[in-house]
A = this chain, B = another copy of it.
Amino acid sequence: MDQPQLCPRFEKAMELLSKRWTALIVFQLLSGPQRFARIESSLPNLSGKVLSERLKELEAEGIIQRDVYPETPVRIEYKLTDKGNALAPLFDSISNWSSEWIQLPDKEVHSE
Protein backbone atom coordinates (compact mmCIF):
# COMPACT_ATOMS: atom_id res chain seq x y z
CA MET A 1 0.00 0.00 0.00
CA ASP A 2 2.92 2.33 0.54
CA GLN A 3 3.90 4.63 -2.20
CA PRO A 4 7.47 5.69 -2.88
CA GLN A 5 8.16 9.28 -1.93
CA LEU A 6 9.24 11.39 -4.82
CA CYS A 7 12.65 12.92 -4.65
CA PRO A 8 12.28 16.39 -3.16
CA ARG A 9 14.51 17.93 -5.83
CA PHE A 10 12.35 16.45 -8.55
CA GLU A 11 9.24 17.60 -6.72
CA LYS A 12 10.61 21.11 -6.50
CA ALA A 13 11.46 21.09 -10.20
CA MET A 14 7.97 19.97 -11.09
CA GLU A 15 6.48 22.62 -8.86
CA LEU A 16 8.50 25.28 -10.65
CA LEU A 17 8.01 24.04 -14.16
CA SER A 18 4.35 23.20 -13.98
CA LYS A 19 3.43 26.65 -12.76
CA ARG A 20 1.47 28.34 -15.49
CA TRP A 21 3.63 30.25 -18.01
CA THR A 22 6.93 29.50 -16.32
CA ALA A 23 8.15 26.92 -18.81
CA LEU A 24 7.03 28.99 -21.78
CA ILE A 25 8.91 32.02 -20.49
CA VAL A 26 12.06 29.96 -20.11
CA PHE A 27 11.57 28.53 -23.58
CA GLN A 28 11.17 32.00 -25.02
CA LEU A 29 14.42 33.09 -23.36
CA LEU A 30 16.29 30.14 -24.89
CA SER A 31 16.32 32.18 -28.09
CA GLY A 32 18.40 34.85 -26.35
CA PRO A 33 18.21 37.73 -23.87
CA GLN A 34 15.13 39.85 -24.28
CA ARG A 35 13.14 42.66 -22.82
CA PHE A 36 9.86 42.64 -20.97
CA ALA A 37 7.71 43.82 -23.86
CA ARG A 38 9.15 41.25 -26.23
CA ILE A 39 8.50 38.32 -23.93
CA GLU A 40 5.02 39.67 -23.34
CA SER A 41 4.23 39.88 -27.04
CA SER A 42 5.63 36.41 -27.71
CA LEU A 43 3.08 34.87 -25.32
CA PRO A 44 -0.23 36.38 -26.41
CA ASN A 45 -2.36 35.28 -23.49
CA LEU A 46 0.12 36.10 -20.76
CA SER A 47 -0.66 39.31 -18.91
CA GLY A 48 2.02 41.80 -17.92
CA LYS A 49 1.03 41.34 -14.32
CA VAL A 50 1.76 37.62 -14.30
CA LEU A 51 4.87 38.02 -16.44
CA SER A 52 6.23 40.39 -13.85
CA GLU A 53 5.49 37.89 -11.08
CA ARG A 54 7.05 34.99 -12.96
CA LEU A 55 10.19 36.91 -13.84
CA LYS A 56 10.69 37.68 -10.16
CA GLU A 57 10.16 34.04 -9.22
CA LEU A 58 12.55 32.83 -11.92
CA GLU A 59 15.16 35.34 -10.84
CA ALA A 60 14.74 34.28 -7.22
CA GLU A 61 15.29 30.66 -8.31
CA GLY A 62 18.46 31.62 -10.16
CA ILE A 63 17.04 30.57 -13.51
CA ILE A 64 17.14 33.99 -15.10
CA GLN A 65 19.19 37.14 -14.62
CA ARG A 66 17.84 40.69 -14.86
CA ASP A 67 20.22 43.23 -16.38
CA VAL A 68 19.56 46.95 -16.16
CA TYR A 69 21.03 49.28 -18.77
CA PRO A 70 20.58 52.89 -17.61
CA GLU A 71 19.82 54.32 -21.02
CA THR A 72 16.89 56.52 -21.92
CA PRO A 73 14.39 55.13 -21.56
CA VAL A 74 15.87 52.47 -19.33
CA ARG A 75 16.47 49.11 -20.97
CA ILE A 76 16.07 45.95 -18.96
CA GLU A 77 17.03 42.59 -20.34
CA TYR A 78 16.25 39.15 -19.02
CA LYS A 79 18.46 36.22 -19.83
CA LEU A 80 18.87 32.63 -18.74
CA THR A 81 21.59 31.70 -16.29
CA ASP A 82 23.51 28.44 -16.67
CA LYS A 83 20.85 26.84 -14.54
CA GLY A 84 18.22 28.16 -16.92
CA ASN A 85 20.05 27.12 -20.05
CA ALA A 86 20.41 23.65 -18.61
CA LEU A 87 16.67 23.25 -19.15
CA ALA A 88 17.15 23.10 -22.92
CA PRO A 89 17.12 19.26 -23.07
CA LEU A 90 13.72 19.28 -21.43
CA PHE A 91 12.32 21.27 -24.31
CA ASP A 92 13.98 18.90 -26.73
CA SER A 93 12.13 16.05 -25.04
CA ILE A 94 8.83 17.86 -25.37
CA SER A 95 9.58 18.74 -28.96
CA ASN A 96 10.40 15.13 -29.82
CA TRP A 97 7.31 13.83 -28.11
CA SER A 98 5.05 16.35 -29.76
CA SER A 99 6.34 15.71 -33.25
CA GLU A 100 5.85 11.99 -32.79
CA TRP A 101 2.52 11.95 -30.99
CA ILE A 102 0.55 15.16 -31.41
CA GLN A 103 -1.92 15.17 -34.24
CA LEU A 104 -3.23 18.53 -35.24
CA PRO A 105 -6.93 18.75 -36.02
CA ASP A 106 -7.66 19.05 -39.74
CA LYS A 107 -8.59 22.54 -40.70
CA GLU A 108 -12.02 22.67 -42.24
CA VAL A 109 -12.07 23.95 -45.78
CA HIS A 110 -15.02 24.77 -48.03
CA SER A 111 -17.59 24.21 -45.34
CA GLU A 112 -19.56 26.64 -43.26
Task: Name A residues whose Cβ lies closer than 8 Å to a Cβ of B.
Answer: 3-4, 6-10, 12-14, 17-18, 20-24, 27, 31, 38, 41-42, 83, 86-87, 89-90, 92-102, 104
Contacts and interface: CB of A to CB of B under 8 A. Distances in A.
Nearest to A1: B38
B24 A98 contact: no
Contact of A97 (B22, B42, B90, B100): B90
Contact of A24 (B7, B18, B31, B104): B18
A23 B13 CA distance: 12
Contact of A98 (B7, B93, B97): B7
A3 to B, nearest CB: 5
